[in-house]
Amino acid sequence: MANKTIDHAITAKTLKSAASDPTHAGILSFMRRRYTKVLKDVDAVVWGIPFDAATSNRPGTRFGPQAIRRASAIMDNDPQYPFERDLFEDMAVIDYGDCLLDYGNHQKTPGTIEREAKKILKSGAYMLTLGGDHFITLPLLRAHAEKYGPLSLVQFDAHQDTWADEKGRIDHGSFVGTAVREGLIDAESSIQIGIRTHAPEDCGIRILYGYDVEEMSAAEIADTIIHHVGDRATYLTFDIDCLDPAFAPGTGTPVSGGPSSARILSVLRKLGALNIVGSDVVEVAPAYDHADITAIAGSNIAMYMLGLHAEKLAERR
């Protein structure tokens, strides 16, 4: 115990150091990464956006970032399966904390998120965001598109989120349609995986419905995504309700008939060929969870996103 420390999130001496906190104790940053707003020499930033005023059914995703961080504690100090590496040995990652939002003035929310996201992206760091409901992806796309140009969207979701909206509307079911109309994403090279509901329009985006995913292998799903998107700058967004409620009950709009966490994690593992420039995990609502099932799935999905980025960095260096 002599060389061990606790509260690694604030006591870490370097951004690449491993934690030694007991799994059941210590300050709960994402995977024990140092809490800091300093963006110098940072490869990746984990950022929370605790917002759920746009949800159409059960609220509670404002507690999603906390739940995902808590569930990530078990992954703090081991080589991460299936990446066979300590993700932080060569990748400097910080937990940037949460976005400060005015709960009484939601019209300011999109601008607040977009401004802070642009600040993070200006540093050159990769940004992984923990939501929050799916509305938060719209201002995140605005920030990423300003830097990278129109993006290919890879969206894991039970819903298309292409419902019509009105200017300035705060709604988690319309962000994709808005993003297409604003030119933030290129519809023809975008794809949605796991859709199990209908919407008035598909905006020209390719869809792998729930029954498609059920009949395809993980390799077939990944190959379809990669061949459709190509080498374009890609934003990866994961709504936890893509998973069947058996594997993610803690969410606001659950839909039966979805894939297992094992299948989708296998798909994510095979997406290393994509040029992913940003990502998020949204719609984790712990009040409806049981034994942290949904939070554990969300934290693993987020870890896979960091794992893919770690491999990209290793290729470049």
| Structural domains of the chain, ranges and CATH numbers in brackets | 8-316 (3.40.800.10)
Close Cβ partners of 275 (under 8 Å, ≥ 6 residues apart): 231, 232, 233, 234
User: What confidence score (pLDDT) does residue 31 get?
Assistant: 94
Q: Is 292 annotated as a binding residue?
A: no
Q: How many whole angstroms separate alpha carbon 285 and alpha carbon 267? A: 23
Q: Is 102 annotated as a binding residue?
A: no
SS3 label, residue 142:
helix
Per the CB < 8 A criterion, the answer to whether 77 and 71 are in contact is no
Q: How far is CA 131 from CA 50, 98, 257, 293, in A?
A: 6, 10, 23, 16
Extended beta strands in 21-177, E state: 34-35, 44-49, 93-98, 126-131, 152-156
Q: Is 8 annotated as a binding residue?
A: no
Tokens found for residue 157: 């979701």
**pTM assigned to the model:** 0.95
Q: Is 159 annotated as a binding residue?
A: yes
Q: Is 161 annotated as a binding residue?
A: yes
Q: Is 24 annotated as a binding residue?
A: no
Chunked into runs of 10 residues, the chain (317 residues) has average pLDDT values of 77 85 88 95 97 83 96 85 91 96 87 96 98 94 98 97 76 84 96 94 94 96 98 98 97 95 98 98 96 97 97 88
User: What confidence score (pLDDT) does residue 54 get?
Assistant: 67
User: What confidence score (pLDDT) does residue 104 get?
Assistant: 85
User: What confidence score (pLDDT) does residue 224 get?
Assistant: 98
User: What confidence score (pLDDT) does residue 57 get?
Assistant: 82
The amino acid at residue 299 is: S
Nearest to 143 by CA among 99, 187, 106: 99
